[in-house]
Amino acid sequence: MKDWWSTTYLEVVADRRPGALVHYRCIGDNMLEGQPDGELTKSGVVECLEGDPIQGGSPRWNYTLTLPCKPNCPLGFVLNNDSTTCFSFSDSPTEFGLAGAAQKCGQVGASLAVLREPSDLAFALQGNFYYTAHTRRGNTTVIPKLPDTITCNTDCDVRDEAECVTVGKNILFRAQDCEDPTTHYMCMVPQWCPEDYRRHKGFCYRLVNHVNNFTEALALCENDGAALTYPETLDALMFLTNMIMEEVIDVNTNQKTAMIGLNDATGEWTRGGLYAPDAEVLQIADTSPPDTHWRLLTVDVSTSSYNLTPATLAGGGATWAICQLHGPLGECLSVKLTP
C-alpha cells in the first residue's frame, strides 16, 4: 500500500472555527477523491460554516472529503488490491508487437503495465500472455525490475533475441521477441515512464542532443528502446512544442528545431498502419518535395507557434531530437523507390 501522503496533499489550519479553510489536491494522473457513485474532484477548498442558530447546530464543513485520493479507473480498467493502480487486459493481440501495444495503451491515456505484486494479474485470461513495460531493450537488465513473486517455468532468459517480458495467469512471466504479433497487452493508469522521460496522455517523451542527422537521432533513441516521436494529434504537437521551448538551447534565438519521426518515406504517413496521424497533423505536414520526406518540429520563439518543416535525412541543421517509448526498432531510413 502506498503511503497516504504520496497521493494526497492537504493544507489544514489549526483553527476549526467558522471560516476556516482546508485546501486539498490529489497528486498524480487520474487521481481523484470522492465516492465512486458520487462527485469526484481533483482539488479544491473545504470551508467550515456557521451552524443553524435556530436549531442550535454545530459548525459544519460545506463538503465531505473522501481521502486518500485514488485512481479513477477508465472504462474497461479494474482497480488493483491496494487501490493505487488501474489495469486493463486486451481482448486481442497487437499486430505490431511491443510498439503496437504501447500505441494501444497510449490511445486511452495509459501506459504499458508495471507489475508490483501477483494480484495485479487477477483479471488476466487463462492462456494469454501480455506485453508489459518490463523490457531489456536499451539496457543490460530488465527495467523496471520484475517482482520476485512473478515466477517463470519456461523461456526465462531475457536476452538479445527475447528482450520483452510478457506475463500471464498463474503469476508467470516469459521472455520473448518484442515483435511477436500474437501477444496481448496489459495497460495501466496512472501511466509509468522512466525517470528521464516526460509523460503526457499515455506516452513517454525525451529530448536528446548532439545528433547530426536523422540516422544518428534514431540510433540514439533505439539505444534506449525508443524511436523518434510520431505525433498523431495537435495536442501532442503542442506538448512537444512546449518541451522544445523549455529544454532546447539553441544559438538561433528566432527558432528552435528538433527531429521527429513523422515521415512519408514509404509513400504514406502511418508506417504501415502502426500510427494514425490526424487529418489536422497531416495538413500541417503537407506534401513532401523531392527527397524531403522527414519532418522537423520548428518552433517560433517569439510566438511559441510551431510548424512541421520538410527535411532530408541530413537533418536540416537540427541537433536535437525527440524520442518516444516504446518504438519500433530497426527502422530503415530509406526512400521508397518509384518503379
pLDDT at residue 335 is higher than 60: no
Residue 200's DSSP bridge partners are: 203
Among 231-235, 241-245, 288-292, 293-297, the minimum mean pLDDT is found in: 288-292
Pairwise CA distance, residues 112 & 221, whole Å? 18
Over residues 7-21, the pLDDT tens digits come to 899 998 887 789 999
Between 230 and 140, the more confident residue is 230
Over residues 240-286, the pLDDT tens digits come to 999 999 998 766 678 899 999 999 999 999 999 999 999 999 999 98
Pairwise CA distance, residues 329 & 194, whole Å? 18
Query: Stretch 144-173: mean pLDDT, rounded?
Result: 91
Conformation bin of residue 78: beta by default, left when phi > 0, alpha when psi is -120 to 50: beta
Residues whose CB is less than 8 angstroms from the CB of residue 206 and which lie 6 or more positions away in sequence, other chains included: 196, 197, 198, 224, 226, 322, 323, 324, 325
Over residues 67-83, the pLDDT tens digits come to 888 888 999 999 998 88
Query: Stretch 182-211: mean pLDDT, rounded?
Result: 95
Q: Which pLDDT score is estimated for 338? A: 35
Over residues 97-153, the pLDDT tens digits come to 999 999 999 999 999 999 999 999 999 999 999 999 999 988 889 999 999 999 998
With a pLDDT cut of 70, the percent of the chain lying above it is: 94
Residue-by-residue DSSP string for 261-314: EEE-TTSSSSTTTT----HHHHHHH-PPPTT--EEEEEEETTTTEEEEEEE-TT
To which residue does cell 525527440 refer?
322
Q: Which pLDDT score is estimated for 330? A: 65
Among candidate residues 127, 121, 61, 55, the one with its CA nearest the CA of residue 88: 121
Q: Which pLDDT score is estimated for 94? A: 92
pTM of the model: 0.86
Q: What does the angle CA 34 – CA 39 – CA 43 come to, to the nearest 5 degrees? A: 65
Which amino acid would we find at residue 198? R
Query: Stretch 301-329: mean pLDDT, rounded?
Result: 91
Residue 193's DSSP bridge partners are: none
With bands split at pLDDT 50, 70 and 90, how would you rate the model's confidence at 2? low
Q: Is the separation of the CB atoms in 274 and 266 below 8 Å?
A: no
Q: Is the separation of the CB atoms in 67 and 8 below 8 Å?
A: yes
Reported as half-sphere exposure (CB side, CA atoms, 13 A), residue 164 has a value of 28
Among 46-55, 160-169, 231-240, the minimum mean pLDDT is found in: 46-55
Q: Which pLDDT score is estimated for 333? A: 47
Strands 227-228 and 255-263: unpaired
Neighbours of 273 (CB within 10 A): 10
Neighbours of 131 (CB within 10 A): 32
With bands split at pLDDT 50, 70 and 90, how would you rate the model's confidence at 47? very high
With a pLDDT cut of 90, the percent of the chain lying above it is: 69
Query: Stretch 289-308: mean pLDDT, rounded?
Result: 92
